[in-house]
Every structure is written in structure tokens, then in C-alpha cells.
Structure 1
Amino acid sequence: MFLERRRGRTTRHAVDPSGYQCATLASQLADEWIKLTRRMSLSGGGSEYSGAVRSFAKFTDKYLSEAGTDPAVARLDGQAVDLVEVLYAWEGDLRQKYGPKSKQPYRRARALLALIHQRATASPGIPEYLRQRAKAPASYGKPTPQPLDEFSNAERIALRDAARAAVRATEARLDRGRELLAAGNDPRIGGWGDLPNLVWATRARMVNSQVLQTHLPAKSRWWPREVVDLLPVPEGKSRGPGVRALGRELGRLLFPDEFDLQAFRVLLLLGMTDTTPEELHDLETGDIEFTDGGLRLVQTKLRASRIRADLHPEVELKSGGEEFTGDGSWDVPGLIRRLLAATALIREVFDPDPYLFVAVRQAASDGELRGSVAQFKSPRYRFGFWIASQRDGQGRPLKISDPYEVRRLRKTTKVVRAVALGGTVSDLAGDDNHVEVYRGYYGHGTTAHIMAGRAINRSQEWVFNRLVHKPVLVDEVAEERLEEPEVAEELGMNVEVAKAMRAGELDMGLTNCRNPYDSPQRTDNKLCHVAPAMCMLCRNAVIFYSQLPRLLLMSDRIERMRTALPPPRWHAIYGQQRVALDEVFAECADRLPAARQQITELEIRLDLPLGQRTEFDR
């Protein structure tokens, strides 16, 4: 037998072979479980292995009895029963019981096979067919679950705001309870009809269903008004709330329950980027140390067997910034202080285990209040129930996407960190994850995909802007002053080139060229051979307003070719030129009607070299 103590609860793990018909087989497997647990110093007493032994022994009793075989003859080192057949049938039964998406069939089969393999290694009496089966993997592999996506930014803000409102409401309720407590007296002296006296009795642990039923009138409508007002509004029930509901509400005036703690839990998980829900739940008061700079937390990650200390600095509020109500700010140190203050009376009255999350629960038997470590497992205390109970500023239910998994909060904080840093995967993984873990569990989310898409678009735009150059558009004023050194230098040319350009010596058919012997299309310093067709994509091109009619004719030609060529070929030949022309036209849109009129009045034609005309038309 092994005892496991976690979060204030002690769990007993044991296997009693006498409780099964196959007592010998159960005893042999239990021996292997004890050996393996001690040898490997398994945390939790090797509960996975003991559970597998109990499950297999129970199934063996049923399976062999239905087959007409006495389960008592089953043993690992015997030939009377084909245990391999029983193993396969047991795995199939687990699969049917838990479903194809459950990990239990894989885990239990793997655990039992490990025990049999350990026995086979140390004992020569194990049959060969059972020995070989123990070496093989489980019949059903470990299912791959669908990774959880993070909450969207709007959902994160909605959850944060709802949690803050819930914390304020909890603190206001507890403040009222303390005021009533200060005004109350022993009800055995002052009477049970006053609410402050009932609160005093609750603090003294004198209240349960039997006591309230004895000292209060039989029907709740005969109770004092301030006591009746404390009761919750009945929801479609024929019978209104009674002494049990009153005892619960009296307790909530002094002590938070797990529903109240959910708000603190949500805010802390949103504020602690490197803390899992399990680490947060396992925090004890001894792991918390307030320093001059903030808060130091000692956290334990069980799966990684790692203990680390994290420092959460205080967040200083700037003057004129956000105003907070309550007992502190919303940073991690402030939230921990507020949580400790809210649960201080629980520790004083009930002396529970020294965990951070402690709450009061009403006993099902007598309605007595008991303080213990919060588990967040009861249906009315789970994360999903808390979300369904929240309302936004307009009183409407929160619009939060399924599933209501608290683990999504951690993924959300990881994504917020990724957005803030915008760095490499190693930066985003942080100190508490390997790069591969981050890729597998956090890098798949919607926000990560959007960020990756934006990064790709930015890089493509960067490359395109450097590969594709649009011409320089020169208006009439700049054209008249083109030979001035300052103007020519601004346009990337010297005075001699500017004079030649104004004289029409550098006109390439569609545009002017600052240097026809420096074409980006060739490296031999010879005259450009692709003008004028590629001038719109050349860094040397200079356009005068007088050349707009020719550009319009070129634009018309490109549009005609759209119908003559397959789309992929048209985009390959004309796509970038179309974009470059559109950018030029956007800069001088008011000049285009006049240019169109010049084409008609002067009967301007577009002249292209025959070779290029043939190349583009075929």
C-alpha cells in the first residue's frame, strides 16, 4: 500500500488480492507493482500501475468465469490459462469502455505489460508467448488529441474584465460580512433572529442545518427580512431555499468558495506567462515571498521534476492612469495579496493545509462549513460553469468559444508574449519550454499562424520593393528646372544628363532613361536592349508629363493582351508593369483626361520595335 498526499488530500493506493478470484495472478502482479514503485521511486505511489492491476484482475475473473474456466488457476508462470488471449480481450474491453479518444486503454495496457515484462526478466518460469507479448507495445496506440487553440484577444479581455468585476464583488461581500461580524454577538445570548448574530455564529463554527432548523422558524417567510434577503432567488423550483441555502450564504459572507476563487485563478493565469494551472494550484504559502521589488514564487513542475523561483515585479501606476478599486492592483503581487487577504479568515478559523487556494465547502451530510484546498472539480465550481455565469457590461452572457478549458488561458498568455516580443521561436518559448515543445503545443494556434502570415507578407513586400522599381514622375515645374544642379541631383543625375534628357536624346519610346548603358537587365555596359517594354520596371526611367499619352496607349495594350493570353502568362509578362503603371497614374490622375484628349486630337500611336511587338503578341 502506498499513500499519496497532494493538495491537502491523502489517497490510498492498494491492491488486495483476496478480493479477486484470480488471487494468485493478482498477488504476482501486485508484487511487481510494489517492486517497480520502490525501485523507480514513483511519485504518487505508482497509481497507474496499481489501477492497471485492479482492472485486469477484475476483468480476468469475469472473462474466465464466462469461458467456463476457474479464475483461481490463472498465474503468470502457469500454462493453464492463455493470458495473452485474456490481455487482448482486456484491451478491447478498455477500448470499448473508454472510447477511441481516451488515453486510458493505452496507459493501463502499457503499465500492465511493464509489470509482466519485469516479472519475465527476473523469473524463468514465464511462458515464452507471454514473455514476447510483454515486449510488444499496447494493442491501441496513444491517441493524438486535437491541440487546444488560444482564446482570441477579445475573449481574453472579456475574461479579464469579468474576473476583475467578480473579484471586486467578492471583496465587497466579504467587507460586508466583516462589518456584520464586528456588530454581532453570541446568538445564544443575543438571539438567533439577528443577521449579525448569525454571522458571529458562523465564524464560531456553530452553524449547520440542524442548528438553524432548531432556532429559526419552520418556514423561511417567517424569518427576519434581512435574513430572507440573504437567500438566493429560487430558479424555477416549487420549493424555496431553506436552512441549507442560508448556511451556505452565511459562510459566503465571511469565506470565499471555489466559485469566488475562479476569478483570482483566471487573472493569475493571464498574468503569469510561465505558470501552468497545476503549478498555480500546488503553490503553498511557504512558496510565496514578498520582496522590495515584487513577489518571489517557488514553483514545481511535476512532469519535468523541476523547481524554479520566479520574480514578479511590482507594476507602478503612473499618475493619471487606470484607477483600481479594492485592496490592491491587478499585477501578480497585487492579486496574490488580495487572494491572501480574502482567504485569511479561512486559515484562521479552519486551519487548512497551507496552500494558496483554500476555500470553504458545505458538507453534504449536515450542511456544516469546512475549509479545505480548492480542487475546482465540482460541476458548479469548474471553469466552464464560471464562464457561463458571467455577464459583460451590458448584462449579456460572455461570448467565449468552446471548449471551456483552463489550459487555454496559459496558451493565451504565451500568444500575448509572442505578439509582444515578435522574436524567434527560442525567444517565444521562454525559460519553461523547449523550442520543440513550443512548436508542438503553442506554435499551432490561430494567432501564431496569423503572425507567420504577416511575417511572410512583410518579407515578400520587402523583396518586391527592392526588385521592382517604378519610374520617377517629373512635373512641368521640375522639368523646367531640370538643368539646375540641385534638381538634377535630387533626381539622381548630373547636369549633362539632364540637358540631354530635356533635348530628347534619352527618350526610349515610353520614358526617358538616366543611363541607357546601365541597364539592370545586362552587366556588359552595353546599350539597353529591352527598352521601351521594360522601362516601367527600371530604376533609370524618368517620365515627363508630355509622355503620359504614350503610357496610356501602353496601358490599353496591356489590357487587350489580358484577353489574348492565359492568366498565368499574362501575369508573368504584364503583371508587374500593370502595377507600376497604376502607381504612376495614381500620382497624376488629374492629368489623364487631357492626355486622352491629346491621343485623339494628335492621333498619337504607340511605336514598339517589331521584335518586341511579335514577342508580346504571339
Structure 2
Amino acid sequence: MDPGKYACRGLAAELADEWVLYCKALALRSPNRSAGAVRSFAAYTDSWLAEQAGAPERKLVRLNGGTVDLTEIIFAWEHDLRGTYPPPSKVGYELVTNLLALIAQRHARTGDLPARLAARAQAPPLFGKPADGPRLDEFSQAERLALRNAARRDIRILEARLAEGQELLRAGRDPRQGGWESVPNLVWAAHSTMLDTAHLRDHLPGSPGRWPAEILEVAAGAPVRLAPQALLGGLAAKVFPREIDLQPFRVLLLLAMSECTPEELLDLTLDDVEFTDGGVRLSQTKHRAGRVRRRLHTSPTPADDSGGNHVFAGEGRWDVPGLLRRLITITDPVRHAYPAAGEWLWAVVEPAGQGRARVAGRRCHFVLDGRRFTDWISQPREGTPALQITRPHDVRRLRKTAKISRVVALGGAVADLAGDDHHVEVFRRHYAHGTTAHVLAGRAVTSAQRKVFASLTRPVFADDAAVEDLGEAAVAEALGLDVATAQAMEEGRLDMGLVNCRDPYASPHTERGQVCHVAPAMCMLCRNAVVFPSHLPRLVLLAEHIERMRDRLPPPQWQAVWGRQAAALAQLFDECAEWMPKARRAAEEGQARLDLPLGMRTEYHR
């Protein structure tokens, strides 16, 4: 930052010094909002002073000792940011909090700030932090498979293109001796890092229309003005990967590694990748947490190390070790040709500069237009339909998809699913809200409820053979009855008017020791109910009565009063299907009579 660019250069210099100290104190290794806050506030202070104060006073703007009250400027700046970054943007809020943090640091360090400015630094921003937008959901199973298949197809195409480029490279030679209108020679020049657009303009015909057909094909039909740069990029792409070419590796690795964030994956260097006989061990650095984790990803079979150096073997597998070997094989020429690219795992070569552009090697960032995740999804692919992927095309959804796949595979409680990768609360807030996780949780809860309700409300059915031998101890025990109760049922002493009851004094609907007073209204929802085949005609009449109630009651009321009994009857009739034709005939012929209390026929009609 150059404070001399601002009229309030003294204030800008003081804030910049605090920014440097702040970064050192927190050991920040990446850009942050503090720098933007200093620049934004210094620029606004210039415009504010131009309207409110004279030129002599402009030089007296300081954190301490100035003639202008910075508190007023801060308030005005906050209002301006509110209009520039309206909700749901958090940029304005973050700029203000970072500026106040720098001022508070200065006061804590020196204690020489005016009381009003120090108090403002300790107070919260004028506007609260905007609420988070809609949470990102995982990709559906169909989308996950589409992304996986497209990524695999693109990797095969990339490897074939680079193999073809190597053949061109072996056939080419220095174009200064072999000629400039040969694609192999131009590929040789691009690989040797000597080629730039100035050479192409000087040695190729001035009009791209007069270029040889094979050279025009490499330029991919770019406009005349951009043809040299497009040709340069196409030649380099024959032997080096572009940034968009590495997106498929990123997609497949994030889908395969649920414990790796996109930032950790992008920050990997060759030193962080250690191949073993059983797979690959990654050293993942999570800067926000200040922590380094080492993860072992195994292969289905041990890698072949007979050559003595299997790091660049380029195995054609789709697991994590195989993908990393293929990625290293593809990016290794970049590191050899351009040492400035360092030892980054994600290294590419692309044209850089305007006018006299030349290719340069650098690390990937996947943030520039044409190179992002959404650009890879939207790019046309020959012979295949366009990918139909729901928006937003956010790479973080890949990680959530991998997390949810782990949920589906492992199941269990949130504490088990969080593992050692997250705190339980972090997993619950950021990953457990996925649609698939909610569906699975709902199914688990519903299944558990059904089992509980079935154990509490399921009547016992005794077929004809069981009824004939009801007095025998083995049959009674199989039905969950003692011999005395079974004999009483056989004699009809426990018939409650609809079905039998094994213990009228132990109803789940009344206090224990009191006779059940809800029979027969709740008999089909009672675990004490025992149904004989002779009861089925009555139950058929009850089912018809319930259906008549459906026509008389509003749907919510019918569901509350009769819904569970109707479901219980339907389940019982399905289980007793072989007895139902006879029971329905008996009900139609009037061989059975349904005696219901008056309240069951009239009370619910009102």
C-alpha cells in the first residue's frame, strides 16, 4: 500500500502500520479484509474532506492530534458502505469491523487516542451482520454421477491431448531453422518457453486467413485481433495443462475425500504428498484452524514400485492415489519448464500479459473467469449432452456431497459422523442439514415410531386352529396368554363387544387396576386385543362405519378420531386375507351385529 496515493497520507500511513502489526500478531498468511478496510476508509476520507474541510485541515487528519473528528467520518463511511454493499452482502460489515479492530489495536498499544475515537473503536458497527443466505445443499445422486462421469471423460481427453502433443514435440525442432509454419516446430518453441505473440506476428502471415489450415485449427477460430494469443495458448495446451483442464481432478478428489476442504486441496505441494506401498499420505494444512492433519488414503492393491520411482507412474486408477499420480504426471512438465511455479501440486501454463503475451507457469487458483467450477460445468462437450446441474455451482457442494455419502454409508449419531474432522456442532450446522441427511433421519425416526406403535397397538390374531386348541398351554403361550385367560376367552367371558381383551384391568388407556372404559372405541389400538375369526364380520362393519364417518367429518377431524383405527383395520385385513371373503359375506347377510356406544355414533358428528 502506498499512502502517498491519498490526500490523507498521514492517516493512511498510520492505519497501514497497524495493518502490518495486526498481520504479524495473528500470523496471517493470506490476504484479508484489513487491507481493503484501510484503502476504502482512506479513499472515503479524501472525498469527505474535499466536501467538508479545507485543504490546510486535510493534512491534520490523524488518529491522534488531528483537527478533524474521525468518529464522524467513520459514521459517514459506514452509511456509505451500507448503500454500496446492501444486504445480504457482508463486505461492508467486514470492512467496518476490520477498521475498528485496527484502531482498537492502536489504542491498546499506545493509549493516545481521543476518548471519543477509542470508545467508537470498542463499539460494534453501526449496522449488524447480515444473516447468512440459503445454506448450500449437496448434489443429488444423479448430479454426482454426472459430474463424476464428465470429469473422468475430460481427464481421458486431456491425457490423450498431451500424449499427442508429446508426439508433436518429438517431431518438431527449432522454428528458426525448421520454419515457422509447422505446428510441431511451434509446439517445440512453446515448450522451450521462447515463444510469444511477437514472434508469431513477425514470422507468420499478417492475416490469420493466410495461415496454414493446421495452424488455424490450433487457434480454434479466434477473432483476428486475438488470433496470435489464441494460437499461443493452443500450442502451449498441446504439452502443458491449462487451469480449466485440472478442474476434473479437483472434482473427483473432493468427491473421494470427505475430510479434505477445497482450500486444503489447493494448497498441497509435492512435499505434502507421500506415496506408500498401500496408498498415499497427505499433509493437509488448515490455515483457519492453524492445524496440520495427515491422512492416509489406501489403494485397492499395493502400487507397483518395481521401477524404483512410482511417484510419477501415472496409474490409470480413479481412487485418490491413482488420481494424484496422474495429476503429478500431467503437471510435472510445468514444474520442470517453469521453476518459478514452485513445488505446487496444482501447476499450469497459460498465456500472460497484453500486447507481447507469452506463456508462463503458475499455480492454480480456480477463481478467474473461464476457469472456475461453473465454467467447467457449462463448457460444451462434443458427443455428450450438457450437464444439468442445479445452481449455485459452488465447489463447496462437492465436499458436502462427500460428507453426505459418508452419512449414508455409516449412519449413526451426529457425534459418530463428525469424527475427528469437525466438532459436533460444526457438523450439525454445516453438513447435517443436507436433504439426504434429513430424509434418512426422517426415515429412521419414522421406522422407530412404527416399531413402537406396532408393539403398543397391534392386536393379536388367532386363527381357527389356535381357537380350537386355545386351552392348551403351548397355544396360549404362543398368543401371549396364560391358560386361565385363554379359557375365559374360549368361554366368551372376555368379549368386549368387538374383540377379546386379555386383561380389561391393565388397559394402556386407563389407570392400572381400573376396568377399561374406552372399549370398544380403542380396541383396535390396544395391545391387549385378541381377534378371533368370528370377530372379523364385526370388524368389517366397523370399517364400513368408519368410511361413513369419512363422508360426515372434516378430513383433519376424521384423521384424528378414526385415522389410526382405519389403518389398523386395513393392516389386519391384509394379514387375514384368506378369512376376509367369508367375513364380508357374513356381514352382508346380517349374521353379525355391531354394537357401538351412542357416543361413537353421534358425539363426533357435531
Per the alignment, residue 343 of structure 1 pairs with: 331
Contact kept, 8 Å, 2:455 with 2:527, in 1: the verdict is: no
In 1: Cα distance, 2:26 partner to 2:157 partner:
46
Q: 2:89 aligns to what?
A: 102
1:340 deviates by: 0.4
SS across alignment from 1:380: coil
Partner of 1:80: 67
**2:450 is aligned with 1:469:** no
CA RMSD in angstroms comes to: 3.2
Please identify, of 411-420 and 380-389, the stretch whose mean Cα deviation from structure 2 is larger.
411-420
Q: What residue is the counterpart of 2:306 in the other structure?
A: none
Q: 1:140 to 1:315 in 2, by over 3 A?
A: farther
Question: Does residue 24 of structure 1 match 2:10?
Answer: yes
Cα distance, 1:510–1:104 mapped onto 2, change above 3 Å: closer
How far did residue 154 of structure 1 move?
1.7
584-593 vs 546-555, greater mean Cα deviation: 584-593
Please name the residue that 2:305 is paired with: none
> Comparing 46-55 with 404-413, which one deviates more in the overlay?
46-55
| Further displaced range: 436-445 or 96-105 | 96-105
Q: Residue 397 of structure 1 corresponds to which residue in structure 2?
A: 386
Match of 1:280 in 2: 265
For residues 549-564 of structure 1, the aligned pairs below 5 Å read 549-562=537-550
Distance in 2 separating the partners of 1:537 and 1:141: 54
Distance change (3 Å), C-alpha of 1:504 and 1:167: same
For the residue of structure 2 that corresponds to 1:227, the secondary structure is helix
Deviations 1:192-248 (A, max 9, x none): 3433333222222232223233333444454444434434245xx6x5973332221
Partner of 2:192: 204
Change (3 A) 1:481 1:417: same
The SS at the match of 1:371 is strand
For 1:290-301, list aligned pairs within 5 A. Answer: 290-301=275-286
CA deviation after TM superposition for structure 1 residue 289, in Å? 0.5
Given candidates 442, 461, 464, the residue that maps to 1:453 is 442
CA change 1:601–1:468 in 2 (3 A) is closer
Q: Distance in 1 between matches of 2:104 and 2:514?
A: 80
In structure 2, the residue matched to 1:323 is none
Q: CA deviation at 1:424?
A: 1.6
- Equivalent positions of 1:204-353 (< 5 A) are 204-233=192-221, 239=224, 242-316=227-301, 327-351=315-339, 352-353=341-342
Letter matched to residue 190 of structure 2: T
* Change in CA separation of 1:174 and 1:24 when aligned onto 2, cut-off 3 Å: closer
2:80 corresponds to which of 63, 71, 93: 93
Structural mapping, 1:139-154, within 5 Å: 139-146=126-133, 147-154=135-142
Give the secondary-structure state (helix, strand or coil) at the position aligned to 1:509. coil
* Whole-Å separation in 1 of the counterparts to 2:187 and 2:127: 57
Is 1:426 the counterpart of 2:415 in the alignment?
Answer: yes
CA distance in 2, matches of 1:46, 1:229: 41
Q: How many residues align?
A: 590
AA at the equivalent of 1:290 = F
8 Å contact from structure 2 (residues 460, 479) kept in 1:
no
Give the superposition deviation at 1:268.
1.1
Cα shift at 1:256:
0.4
The answer to which of 566-575 and 545-554 deviates more is 566-575
Structure 1 pair 242–537 and aligned structure 2 pair: CA distance change class (3 A) = closer
- Which runs of 5 or more residues in structure 1 are unaligned? 1-13, 318-325
Which shows bigger deviation, 25-34 or 290-299? 25-34
Corresponding position of 1:376: 366
Query: Do structure 1's residue 134 and structure 2's residue 124 form an aligned pair?
Result: no
TM-score w.r.t. length of structure 2: 0.87
Distance across 2 between alignment mates of 1:529 and 1:100:
61
TM-score w.r.t. the length of structure 1 is 0.85
Structure 1 residue 378: Cα displacement: 1.9
2:573 is matched with: 585
Rounded Cα–Cα distance in structure 2 between residues aligned with 1:135 and 1:526: 68
| 8 A Cα contact 2:44 2:77, kept in partner | yes
User: Compared with structure 1, are the counterparts of its residues 55 and 599 closer, same or farther at alpha carbon in structure 2 (3 Å cutoff)?
Assistant: closer
Q: In the alignment, residue 574 of structure 1 is paired with which amino acid?
A: W
Shift of 1:353: 1.1
Q: How far has the Cα of 1:26 moved from its partner?
A: 3.0
Deviations 1:394-428 (A, max 9, x none): 62211111111112211221222222221222222
Q: Secondary structure at the match of 2:343?
A: coil
Residues 150, 412 of structure 1: 8 Å contact kept: yes
Equivalent in 340, 343, 363 of residue 352 of structure 2: 363
The CA distance in 1 between the partners of 2:508 and 2:425, in whole Å, is 44
Q: Identify if the C-alpha distance between structure 1 residues 506 and 347 changes in structure 2 by more than 3 Å, giving closer, same or farther.
A: same
Matched with 2:166 is: 178
Q: CA deviation at 1:335?
A: 0.7
Distance 1:29 1:612, change over 3 A: closer
Corresponding residue to 1:53 among 30, 38, 48: 38
Post-superposition offset of 1:273: 0.9
Structure 2: distance between partners of 1:295 and 1:186: 40
Q: Which amino acid aligns with 1:192?
A: W
Question: Judging changes above 3 Å, is the alpha-carbon distance between structure 1 residues 548 and 354 closer, same or farther for their aligned structure 2 residues?
Answer: same
Q: Which amino acid aligns with 1:210?
A: A
Residues 536/241 of structure 1: CA separation in 2 closer, same or farther (3 Å cut): same
SS at match of 2:126: coil
Unpaired runs of 5+ in structure 2? 303-313
Note if contact 2:274-2:280 (Cα within 8 Å) is conserved in structure 1.
yes
Select which of 423, 428, 446 maps to 1:439: 428
Q: Which segment drifts farther, 572-581 or 601-610?
A: 601-610
Q: Residues 500 and 63 of structure 1: is their aligned pair in 2 closer, same or farther, counting only changes over 3 Å?
A: closer
How many Å separate the matches in 1 of 2:164 and 2:261? 34
Greater Cα offset, 476-485 or 425-434: 476-485
What secondary structure is seen at the aligned counterpart in 1 of 2:59?
helix
Q: Which moved more, 1:330-339 or 1:526-535?
A: 526-535
Q: Is the 8 A contact 2:462 2:479 kept in 1?
A: no
What does residue 311 of structure 2 align with? none
Distance 1:48 1:490 in 2: 74
**Whole-angstrom distance in 2 between the partners of 1:569 and 1:387:** 51
1:471–1:538 CA contact under 8 A, matched in 2: no
Stretch moving more, 51-60 or 340-349: 51-60
Query: Does the Cα contact within 8 Å between 1:391 and 1:398 map onto a contact in 2?
Result: no
Q: Which amino acid aligns with 2:423?
A: H
- Report the 3-state secondary structure (helix = DSSP H, G, I; strand = E; otherwise coil) of the residue aligned with 1:296: strand
CA drift of 1:97 comes to 2.6
Equivalents in 1 of 2:475, 2:152: separation in Å?
62
Report SS of the residue matched to 1:308: strand
Asked whether the 8 Å contact 1:518–1:526 carries over to 2, the reply is yes
> Aligned partners of 1:463, 1:391: CA distance in 2, in Å?
53
Q: Distance in 1 between matches of 2:526 and 2:481?
A: 15
- Report the identity percentage: 49
